[in-house]
Structure 1
Amino acid sequence: MSIIKRVAKNTSSLLLSQIISYVFVFFGTMYTARYLGAGGYGILSTGIAITSIFAVIGDLGLGSLTVREVARNKSLTNKYVVNTTLIKSFLSIIMLVLIVITTEIINYSPEISNIIYILTLSIIFNTFSGVFGSIFQAYEKMEYVSIAGIIISILTFIGFIMAIYFNLGIVKFAFVYLIVSIINLVYLMAIFIWKFFLPKINGDWKFWKNNIKADLNFWKYLLMQALPLSIAIVFSVIIFKIDTILLSILKGSAVVGWYTVAYNILQALFIVPTAFTTSIFPLLSTFHISSKESLKLTYQKSFKYLTILGIPTAVGITLLADKIILLVYTQEFIPAIIALQILVWTVPFIFLTILFGAVVTSINRQNLLMKILFIVMIFNIILNLILIPQFSYIGSAIATVLSELVTFILFFKFLSNYVCRFSSRDAIFKTIIASGIMSLFIIYASINVLFVIPIAIIIYFVTLILLNTFSKDEIDLFRQIFEVKK
């Protein structure tokens, strides 16, 4: 299978999975927020934010390192699985202890504390699931990861609906995450044993002696290689979650609820760049060794396409934010409208910084990733501490947008110097024109928002085509992708 077809297959698989998953997450979140109210949903969101920050400790960048190295050398599969699993066992204990200490220091209420501890167990199971997910990604077998995502979303949705139907308390919603994480681990482990592990044993017990053992020297190598990446991931999670925690401490659970529902809509938009970069990351890692020109071309094309998707998304949601919030949530969440209108302007930057992070990691520049995200983290924390006391969740939203702008500038400057320099002015200019025409339709359309969105998308892409935004080679590429789906 050609590179283009492999990328298309994996991206399509992940996209389909994430779209299906998001449909269930969307309705699950909607009913949960309505049932719990802004205050209750804010409590659950606070627990998720706390555990998300510490979840990084359970992985420490080992997942991305495994993908990169196994993609380059498949013979390392069993060695990475065994040793990363053992390392993560110790890291999970450390994570659990740190979460308990932090929760006690902040002195959260017993209800929030119980939610945090239950979610921590869920995070631990997800940490081990990540071992197998990394192998599937390295082998470009995204269909297994895709099915896992669908299973998780469906089971979580069912769990939330049952909790609402039986009128259960907020703590039971945390148990839903725990149960689903256990099922997900069992599924991924079974697939790995079936597809990758058992065929290699062949009744040879020397296999166990040679492969199923801890290699302490290899542990040291892994941790040293993963350390910059793991620290970078910690900084990244703090950037995205510290605002929620600060809001919970300084402004209360209801404000967290408003802010989180806007953030949830925002996160749903990241399924496209996430699926795409997940699919191309193994290729980028291979191209760094085998073909620098292919690496440059992949980076340039990816930049263009993600720019074309990011800008109109921000424009459209800014204009439709009030309709979207009121369609999904109750009047209690009206304050989330302004938060969404501000936060959505992180989209054009995040679409590209997700790509930048994958490129930087693929070329073994974890140290740079760590340094950039450290700068942005400090900038973000300072902005939040300045803006939250005076502007509440609106201040957090502004801090998030400015932080992503700084991230974009720092990454783009480095990649322009060390990977390749290119001009994207033509694509950006045409994207802005097409977005402007699309926005005129949105402003003057007097039909239901569910009809406005697909029509606006069609208008946008038709305008791009009329402006000759895509070259003949790119059109041929799209045709090849289309052929995959036949």
Structure 2
Amino acid sequence: MGYGADLKELILISGLIMVLDSFSLSFYGALRSLQNLCFESVGVAGGQLVTVIVGFVVLYFKGEVMILLLALASGSLFNALWGLSALIRHYHIWPRFFFTPALLKTIILYAAPFALAGIFVKVYSYVDVVMLSKMLGSQAVGWYGVAAKITFAFQFIPMAFAASLYPAMSNFFVHDKDRLKTSFEKGMLYLAMLALPIGAGLIVIANVFVTKVYGASYQSSILPLQIMAGSLIFSFLGFPIGSLLNACHRQNIQTAAMGATMILNIVMNLILIPWIGIIGSAVAALVGNFLLMLIGFFWVPKIITMPDKIFWLNLLKVSVSSAIMGFLVWLSQPILLKYIQPQGLIKSVAYLGILILFGAIVYVSLLWVWKLINKKDLSFMFRRN
């Protein structure tokens, strides 16, 4: 196809990385089915560390793209070997190649909805940036990118929850429907306890955070960030719903919901970007995440009984606590300005740090008053060993 030798070598190494990552995902998937996430956690962290160390060394001695790509390959190799060793040493499971037409048919049948959902998520995640680039140019992409990257940075939290919930829910769906209901309610409540204060906090400190961290030239990112902070709440709450559907043979419903959300997102961006610019993309993300959560929640009663009044009361308590926290942080900003002017890196970090710490203390105190957390929970969070 006319590719140069260097490019062919880069493609070859990239293909090797993809193969190694595929094996890693398979090994970690088997460990998840055994409800053990410790090895995956260590492996992912170790793989990143290996990549950083090897990357630093090769850049120091020979800063070539080819060598740098080998650093990524070394991290992928570490993950694959770590996952394989965990299966063999701790569970005496020896992976082997096995193929029959019936097995292939079964794999395709079960994997197709997940593969399609992955495509929908990729399109949904990046189509707004592509459309902004074509309609408004690179400057708009930069402003929007600030808001998108800040909110995306928190996505690891619900993803970690989903990784632990999915295998447990799969087991409970077959063996214990009562525990399935309990795990779903706890997953929803715990993620709400994280999502609501994060969303409220981002909305309140967005102005100071953007202008002091990114500069005054990024003021156009403030409102999109505040809108996407609200979107983050629905995104968090959608994860346990998605885990429930996927674990209980309703993956086709979840995939269809993702497809509908993707289409809605594209249509809304086409309509709103020419009208209100990057704010339109933020609104589209908010509506899309809300729709995805709503469609999924509609199917929850078809799997388990609806959460009882205690669940909804606790969710209300979390919402009120988050609102009070956000309001008090907002009130405290002009008072804090009398003592700290957020000028320069150190003072800006100190200013934001004090606001975040104050908000955290207020929020945890309110949860304590509402009896949503207790002494045992606090001692677990702050224990040293």
TM-score w.r.t. the length of structure 1 is: 0.65
2:344 counterpart residue number:
none
Quickly say closer, same or farther: Cα 1:333–1:482, change in 2 above 3 A: closer
- Tell me which residue corresponds to 2:356: 453
The structure showing larger relative contact order (alpha-carbon pairs under 8 Å, at least 6 residues apart) is: 1
1:183-223: CA deviation from partner (whole Å, max 9, x where unpaired) = 22211222234332479999xxxx89xx4343332112101
Counterpart of 2:300? 415
Which residue in the other structure is 1:441 paired with?
328
Distance 1:432 1:201, change over 3 A: closer
From the superposition, tell whether residues 355 and 147 of structure 1 become closer, same or farther in structure 2 (CA, over 3 Å): same
Task: Give 1:385 shift.
Answer: 1.1
Question: 246, 264, 268: which one pairs with 1:361?
Answer: 246
1:267 to 134, 152, 166: 152
Within 1, Cα distance between the matches of 2:84 and 2:318? 47
Pair 153,317 (structure 1): closer, same or farther in 2 beyond 3 Å: farther
Kindly provide the amino acid, as one letter, of the partner of residue 403 in structure 1: G
**Residue in structure 1 matched with residue 369 of structure 2 by the alignment:** 466
Question: What letter matches 2:179 in structure 1?
Answer: S
How far off is 1:133 after superposition? 2.5
Structure 1 vs Structure 2 CA RMSD = 3.6
Measured at CA, do residues 483 and 307 of structure 1 come closer, stay the same or move farther in structure 2, by a change above 3 Å?
A: closer
Separation (CA, whole Å) in 2 of partners of 1:142 and 1:324: 34
Give the deviation of 1:275 after TM superposition: 1.4
Question: For 1:469 and 1:388, how far apart are their aligned partners in 2?
Answer: 42
Task: State the SS of the aligned residue for 1:335.
Answer: helix
Give distance in 1, aligned partners of 2:325 and 2:270.
37
* Amino acid across the alignment from 1:143: C
- Long gaps (5+) in structure 2: 2-6, 341-350
Deviations 1:298-335 (A, max 9, x none): 11122122222222211110111122223433444333
State the one-letter code of the partner of 1:194.
Answer: S
TM-score w.r.t. length of structure 2: 0.80
| CA-CA distance at 1:343 after TM superposition | 0.8
- 2:256 equivalent to 1:371: yes
Which deviates further from its counterpart, 224-233 or 246-255? Answer: 246-255
| Gap change, CA 1:338 and 1:300, over 3 Å in 2 | same
CA 263–297 in structure 1, closer or farther in 2 if over 3 Å, else same: same
Q: Where in structure 2 are the equivalents of 1:233-312 lying within 5 Å?
A: 233-312=118-197
Letter in 1 for 2:263: I
Query: Structure 2 matches for 1:57-206, cutoff 5 A?
Result: 121=15, 125-154=20-49, 178-197=69-88
1:287, distance to aligned residue in structure 2 (A):
0.6
Aligned residue pairs, count:
359
- How much does 1:443 deviate? 1.5
Take 2:211 and 2:48, find their aligned partners in 1: how far apart are those partners? 23
Structure 2 counterpart of 1:430: 317
User: Which residue of structure 1 aligns with residue 236 of structure 2?
Assistant: 351
Partner secondary structure for residue 334 of structure 1: helix
| Distance verdict in 2 for CA 1:262–1:430, change over 3 Å | same
Structure 2 CA distance for partners of 1:165 and 1:198, relative to 1, 3 Å? closer
Q: 1:411 to 1:391 in 2, by over 3 A?
A: same
CA offset digits 1:424-457 (Å, max 9, x no partner):
4312332232123212331132151112112211
Q: Could you tell me which amino acid in structure 2 is paired with residue 349 of structure 1? A: F
Taking the aligned partners of 1:199 and 1:464, their CA distance within structure 2 comes to 39
Are 1:148 and 1:184, in contact at CA under 8 Å, matched by a contact in 2?
no
Distance in 1 between the 2:182 and 2:25 partners?
30
C-alpha separation between the residues in 2 aligned to 1:244 and 1:328? Answer: 22
